[in-house]
Amino acid sequence: MAVTTNKVQKTEGMTWRRYKDGESERNIRSAQDRIFQASWTHKCPEYMLSTPPCQGSCPAGEDIRGYLNIVRGIEKPPAGTTWQEYAFRRITEANPFPAVMGRVCPAPCESGCNRNMVEDHVGINAVEHFVGDWGIENGMKFTAAATETGKKVAIIGAGPAGLAAAYQLRLRGHGVTIFDEHEELGGMMRYGIPGFRTPREMLDSEISRIIEMGVETRLKTRVGTDISFDELDKSYDAIFLAMGAQAGRPLPVPGAEAPNCVTAVAFLRAFNEGRLQHVGNRVVVIGGGDTSIDVATVARRLGNVTKSGTHDERPENVIAGHMASDVASISAREGAEVVLVSRATMDKMAANKHEVEHALQEGIEIIGGVTPVAVVVDANGRATALRVAEFVMEGNQTKIIEGTERDLPGDLIVSAIGQAVDFTGIEQFNNNNGLIKTDKNYRFPGSEKIFVGGDVIRPHLLTTAIGHASIAVDGIDAFLKGKELDKRPKVDVHHFDEIRKWLESGHEYSEIHGQIWGTSERKDILHNFEDRSARHIIPHNELFLGHFPNTPRHIRDVTVLDKDAALGNFEERLHALSDKEVVDEAKRCMSCGQCFECDNCVVYCPQTAVFKVKKKDNPTVGRYVDTDYTKCIGCHICADVCPTGYIVMGMGD
């Protein structure tokens, strides 16, 4: 099919004109000849701030490039502030839990990192881990807004979404009360992740910083039973639903109602509350995600104990709520055989690859590519095995391959196939699929004052819940101020703020509306600068990758345990980088989409048109170079050798 294009430019409504009326026949071909000559063009350098793919891949929307540039020394902290504190402040604008997320986040930012096209991604998670620990060790605190608005917001749920929302709301001066049915704050961070992955002293420190901002808490209070939702609706100006999905999904196969067939959520909660102290001789876990790995590694550490013989001491009874006696301290502990079963093959399991490797090193058997068929029960109704089989998919239907069935013996069978929301008492929010629907601002449809975030929308990562909270709080804040909710940007993350940096250094900044061309004489604005961060994620093919030498990644040390060493070992395995290592790792960041002052454009400009800006006129990152347009011939060499893709050739009339 032929495609025709109208190349005549539309001039109505434009703020600047390339040709006068009647000059559009000055012809397109000759204009193209003038613009695209090999040695010179009528284009000139423009400076475009874009979002790097690490930030675009971060569910919490952290300004990753920003804090890496702080750590490496490109972006200088204000006088009297260390780089560690400045990096901590930058991270926690988006995520108030850097020590926790630096340990447990599977780091989708690293998968998106453009450095993967050179040799290996930047160790973003390792840098966050270090900065988070530094913040705790040095007593970093958060400060609520100086001006209280007098507005009150009720938050249902004290997990990552609820706590992050409380933090963001207090920064804006709104009053906050958190309602949670548990005895302690933290949600899945506390009750769903074992302490050897998230040390409790770290978690407690990061939570206490938020509560100290003036957050009221009402623990052991379930909304819908202990207090009605209508009471909250009448007493608070806005409500944030962040209950999480803390009901596990049982296996949808015959026999799954056996008492020793439990959910991963119940298993991990019993362990994290200190009730579950041992498992049977053989544990079978069904899943394939990070939760199933957590269950398997916990089971390996707990092991089995001898001399415990009462029915009440059985793991399923403890998980169901009984408090076991401390049999582990008086009995010989033996290793338990742990098998993890997944429908996905091992190379396609959703769990973090290094967590899978650690599980294998600890002697956990992983069987991929099979599906549960039934739970085999004995005459007393207790499970004795999980029956699995190989399968093929026909459309959305699972078809069992006959003759491939086999039984995997097990004293305890744990289903880690997903989570569900408990809507008891607040059934009006159930979308009939066991979750809550929202609009793009995470507002509940049909209600101006109710917003939603976290696993109640869709069970996902802890960082996803934190990102939901940040966006929802923007909406809550606008609603409480009587403003219309803005349309969310295409790239919805925290961005580097050129203007803030300008003001932070004591310089004035003239507010500019719209695109300004040819502003090289003005020192109070960035000339030919455009912030396209809200709409453009810069790919690797817009960078000059040849600038970056092959530099190995600095990898955190991990305590590797074998089958015997894992038994009873609940110490943290992941160790932070040193100060020097974390700075060196941050230097591997390519600062995609933002100038990092490499001098390439100055060195390679054949016309000496690109020059460094005087220090007194350089208060912000990205103001490092300027262009003398009386010398520039538009040869585009500066753009070609710009490692970060910050310089692009634009139409400079």
In contact, 461 and 509? CB cutoff 8 Å: no
- pLDDT, tens digit, for every residue of 413-449? 999 998 889 999 999 999 878 899 999 999 999 999 9
Q: 376-404 burial, b if ≥16 CB within 10 A, otherwise e?
A: bbeeeeebbbbbbbebeeeeeeeeeeeee
Fold of 248-417: FAD/NAD(P)-binding domain (3.50.50)
- pLDDT, tens digit, for every residue of 547-591? 999 999 999 999 989 988 998 899 999 999 999 999 999 999 999
Q: Work out the burial of residue 290: count CB atoms within 10 Å of its CB; fewer than 13 is exposed, 13-18 middle, 19 or more buried.
A: buried
Task: Phi first, then psi: give them for residue 409, nearest 5 degrees.
Answer: -60, 145
pLDDT at 111: 94
Q: Long-range pairs for 481-488 at CB < 8 Å and ≥24 separation? A: 485/441, 485/443, 487/440, 488/440, 488/441
Element counts in the chain: helices (H) and strands (E)? 21, 23
pLDDT at 636: 87
- pLDDT, tens digit, for every residue of 285-326? 999 999 999 999 999 999 886 554 445 567 777 776 544 444
Give the residues across from 367 on adjacent strands.
341
Q: Is the pLDDT of residue 528 over 90?
A: no
Helix residue ranges, H only, 445-577: 462-480, 498-504, 563-566
Residues 62-66 have a mean pLDDT of 96
pLDDT at 506: 73
pLDDT at 25: 41
Q: Is the pLDDT of residue 615 over 80?
A: no
In contact, 438 and 145? CB cutoff 8 Å: no
pLDDT at 10: 33
Residues 475-497 have a mean pLDDT of 90
3-state secondary structure 205-222: HHHHHHHCCCCEEECCCC
Nearest alpha carbon to residue 472 among 237, 148, 238, 245: 238
CA distance 252 to 514: 57
Residues 248-277 have a mean pLDDT of 92
pLDDT at 315: 72
Q: DSSP letters along 230-292, please?
A: HHHHHH-SEEEE-----EEPPP-STTTTSTTEEEHHHHHHHHHTT------SEEEEEE-SHHH
pTM of the predicted protein model? 0.87
What do you get for the CA distance between the two ends of the chain, in Å? 36
pLDDT at 313: 60
Fold of 152-246+421-480: FAD/NAD(P)-binding domain (3.50.50)
pLDDT at 509: 64
**How confident is the prediction for the chain on average, in pLDDT?**
86
Residues 526-536 have a mean pLDDT of 82
Confidence band for 47, pLDDT divided at 50, 70 and 90: confident
In contact, 367 and 388? CB cutoff 8 Å: yes
Distances (CA, A) of 555 to 71, 72, 120, 495, 613: 17, 17, 11, 27, 37
Distances (CA, A) of 506 to 78, 524, 551, 577: 10, 12, 37, 34
List CB contacts of 55: < 8 A, sequence separation 6 or more: 61, 62, 63, 64, 65, 109, 493, 494, 495, 537
Phi-psi region of 494 (alpha: psi -120 to 50; beta: other; left: phi over 0): beta
CA distance 515 to 652: 12
CA distance 381 to 592: 60
pLDDT at 57: 95
Say which residue, 204 or 522, is predicted with more confidence.
Answer: 204
CA distance 299 to 619: 55
Residue type, 309: G
- pLDDT, tens digit, for every residue of 356-385? 999 999 999 999 999 999 999 999 999 999
In contact, 298 and 194? CB cutoff 8 Å: yes
Confidence band for 527, pLDDT divided at 50, 70 and 90: low
Nearest alpha carbon to residue 246 among 276, 267, 218: 267
In contact, 305 and 355? CB cutoff 8 Å: no
Q: Is the pLDDT of residue 22 over 90?
A: no
- pLDDT, tens digit, for every residue of 252-262? 999 999 999 99
* Paired tokens of 151: 């507005």
pLDDT at 321: 58
pLDDT at 222: 96
Q: Where in the chain is the domain with CATH 3.50.50.60?
A: 152-246+421-480, 248-417
Distances (CA, A) of 311 to 259, 280, 322, 517: 12, 12, 11, 80
pLDDT at 386: 97
Percent of the chain whose pLDDT exceeds 90: 68
Cα-to-chain-centroid distance, residue 373 = 35
pLDDT at 45: 86
